[in-house]
Amino acid sequence: MEANGVKSKSRRADSADLSIGPHDTMEQRVSNMNTSSATLVEILRKMMLIRMFEEKIVDVYGVQDMKTPVHLSIGQEAIAVGVCENLETNDYVFTTHRSHGHGLAKGADPGKLYAEFYGRIDGYCKGKGGSMHLSVPEVGIHGTSAIVGGGIPLAVGTALASSMRGDERVSVSFFGDGAVDEGVFHESLNFAALKKLPVVFVCENNFYAVSSPISARQPHDDIARRAEGYNIPGFRLDGNDAIAVYHAAGQAVKRARNKEGPTLLECRTYRWKGHVGPDCDYENGCRPRFELDDWMDRCPIEILKKSLVRTGIMNGIQIQALVGEIHGQLNSALEWAKRSPYPNKSDVFKDVFFKGK
Amino acid sequence: MPWTKIYTDKAEFDTTFSREGLRGITYREAVREALFQILQADERVFLMGEGVDDPGGIFGSTRGLSEKFGKERVMDIPIAENGLTGVAIGAAIAGMKPIFIHMRMDFLPMCMDQIVNHAAKWHYMSGGSVHVPLVIRSIIGRGWGSAAQHSQALQALFLHIPGLKVVMPGTPYDAKGLLFSAVQDGNPIMFIEHRWLYDYTGYVPEEPYSVPIGKGIVRREGRDVTLVALSHMIVEASKAALVLEKEGIDVEIIDPRTVTPMDTQLIIESVKKTGRLVIADVACRTGGVGAEIACRVAESAHSYLRSAVQRINFPDTPTPASPALEEVYYPDSNAIVAAVSSSVNGG
């Protein structure tokens, strides 16, 4: 089996123009890019929130009272946060079955997410969606598809609506490398490029669709290059480098808001857990252990933490305080969610059809 | 009531109703007029589909609309049915009211993922927080060797999916009124037309009006047999009723107009009166709309049935091309006469 993404440090050298040169260090990037300290701290806080939110799921999942298939994004947090930190609250985001990180990055409430995962009435979908169908309209997430690639054209559709109405809203579509296998990827990018729609396509390339490696599914793994076929910009990024993602996405969002059309961002990363559930999948031979080890050495949160400490933006005590604060927030959220009642039995028949407002 | 009738011959309509000052237009013109008025009244509405702006204009049903409303609101699109269905859903989620138009119903299987997995489930799955006001027009083809991929009637596939409404107008009056209702409904609506109805004339008021989704109509009152006829089959059923009348059989014709939600009560009330049920659909037999209707009657009114239920359908084969084979394939009023006679005499 090819080691997926393990060589990506050296591959960074051939990245497209948005990427960082091979000799830059993270510290230089942080200081060169004029990102405000407050933004950097917020990016770290949100990444830690996502990580710890999902680690709590790992902790409680064994009890088997959270009866929803969880697709964890541990290891991929930099992309969700790097992209969403550029968005306004009413900008549209369409995500996937692996959506917890995107929801939290866009501003969803952890308690209502947990409540949904527990199947409770206070969940975002009143217990009708579970973990895979996040819907938080107040932060721009208007439903989530768990069909691979299914959400991509929906983001193009909201972008079409923005374009027709002349509003300023940008649409973002998150999807994985598996979605690039699908016909709807082509149909969506073709139409978005044709109509110059305000949409940003963010491919989280973690090199696997469940346990099928990209080498078994696509003729090359250079997903960013597919943008050429649609005559739109495409960039390959280190998806574990939150600052790089933040700046590249910033340019793509600006381009969309200026009505210059769509951009494809390929963010290379790695999912630490198995496709679904709380466990790592090297144990059952799905993926090689050394791949995971290599990527864990490049933990997106550790990379950013170290940089912020070295550049004097945060110190260890402040980071520890942040950890404590998030723990407290998430523990309360989890307890609140568990106290929420189940839906009424008659609710099974509710909301099949919209009946007007 | 003039709007319950359909005229295959415009001259017949003219002699009957023009004297009374009633306007008769074709099914094609009724659809086009509805679209025109809907586009004019609501800026959120736009049409999209392959060739909606071409000179043919979807068998004339969109002719001239792009000139009037522009190519953004009457939008030609890439040949990418599934992806563009997703785009339409996205636009609907964002508050637009797209009408996606397919010249043939056979193109809908290309869109099944977005229709079945997305549009149909979005409201439920989101706990009622998001809805999808989307109308999907499609046209059933027939004849001239259209064959297996240009003449399918697939309403039964959509009947099976919770979250979709399925509408099959059979007259010009219903085509216009149901299209208004469909656009106002707020749910994904499969709006299924029949190419052979396009030239038929009927009474259609000029002003906008709605025909309620979920309400069937008695097209002919009768006491002996309940004949449920869908879409183009109401034409054949009307012909058959005239023949049967001469044989002394009084047929009650019911047009459900909407397959989902189905006006089951209207059918059951009729069966309680007649004691006999014949169902004529424009699609293959197995697992069809007729099977569902028969089952509902069996569940709720079986003791009223005095003879076996009869179904008139296409055979369970793909559609052939040759005119000789088409003749065998498509049932007409004679088949309905035979089925009704059997229901009355053989039951």
DSSP A172: E
| Contact (CB<8Å) B90/A129 | no
| Contact (CB<8Å) A354/B114 | no
Residue A267 has pLDDT above 90, yes or no: yes
**Is residue B285 a contact partner of residue B331, using CB atoms and an 8 Å limit?**
no
Specify the range with the lowest mean pLDDT, choosing from A254-268, A279-293, B24-38: A279-293
- If pLDDT is split at 50, 70 and 90, which confidence band does B9 have? low
For residue A55, is it left (φ>0), alpha (ψ between -120 and 50) or beta?
Answer: alpha
Pick from B79, B130, B119, B124: nearest CA to B102:
B79
pLDDT tens digits, one per residue of B148-205: 999 999 999 999 999 999 999 999 999 999 999 999 999 999 999 999 999 999 999 9
Pick from B111, B95, B97: nearest CA to B47:
B97
| Contact (CB<8Å) A162/B94 | yes
Residue B326 annotated to the active site: no
pLDDT tens digits, one per residue of B259-310: 999 999 999 999 999 999 999 999 999 999 999 999 999 999 999 999 999 9
Q: B251-255 and B217-220 as β-strands: parallel, antiparallel, unpaired?
A: antiparallel
Q: What was the pLDDT predicted at B4?
A: 57
Which of B86, B114, B163 lies at the smallest CB-CB distance from A353?
B163
Judge whether B113 is closer than 8 Å to chain A, CB to CB.
yes
Judge whether B55 is closer than 8 Å to chain A, CB to CB.
no
Q: Each residue of A250-289: b (16+ CB within 10 Å) or e? A: bbbbebbbeeebbbbbbbbbbbbbbbbebebbeeeeebee
Specify the range with the lowest mean pLDDT, choosing from A8-22, A42-56, A94-108: A8-22
Which of A127, A161, A187 lies at the smallest CB-CB distance from B83?
A187
Q: What is the mean pLDDT of chain B?
A: 95
Q: What was the pLDDT predicted at A17?
A: 35
How close B199 gets to chain A, by Cα (Å)?
34
Judge whether B114 is closer than 8 Å to chain A, CB to CB.
yes
Residue of A nearest to B113 (CA): A150
Residue B123 annotated to the active site: no
Percent of chain A whose predicted confidence (pLDDT) is above 70:
91
pLDDT tens digits, one per residue of A121-156: 999 999 999 999 999 999 999 999 999 999 999 999
Which of B96, B118, B186 lies at the smallest CB-CB distance from A164?
B96
DSSP states of B50-117: TTTTSTTTTTTTTTTHHHHH-TTTEEE--S-HHHHHHHHHHHHHTT-EEEEEESSGGGGGGGHIIIII
Q: What was the pLDDT predicted at B17?
A: 73
Q: Residue B17 and residue B3: Cα distance in Å, rounded?
A: 11
Close Cβ partners of A64 (under 8 Å, ≥ 6 residues apart): none
Q: What was the pLDDT predicted at B8?
A: 63
Pick from A154, A153, A256, A252: nearest CA to A198:
A256
Q: Residue B4 and residue A351: Cα distance in Å, rounded?
A: 33
Question: What are the chain A neighbours of B91 within 8 Å (beta carbons)?
Answer: 157-158, 160-161, 164
Helix (H) / strand (E) containing B341: helix B333-341
Name the B residues in 147-176 with CB < 8 Å from any A CB.
162-163, 165
Mean pLDDT value of segment A34-59: 96
Mean pLDDT value of segment A271-286: 93
CA A204 to chain CA mean position, Å: 7
DSSP A341: P
Q: What was the pLDDT predicted at B16?
A: 72
ipTM (interface predicted TM): 0.95
- If pLDDT is split at 50, 70 and 90, which confidence band does A6 have? low
Question: What are the chain A neighbours of B90 within 8 Å (beta carbons)?
Answer: 94, 153-161, 171
Residue A21 has pLDDT above 60, yes or no: no
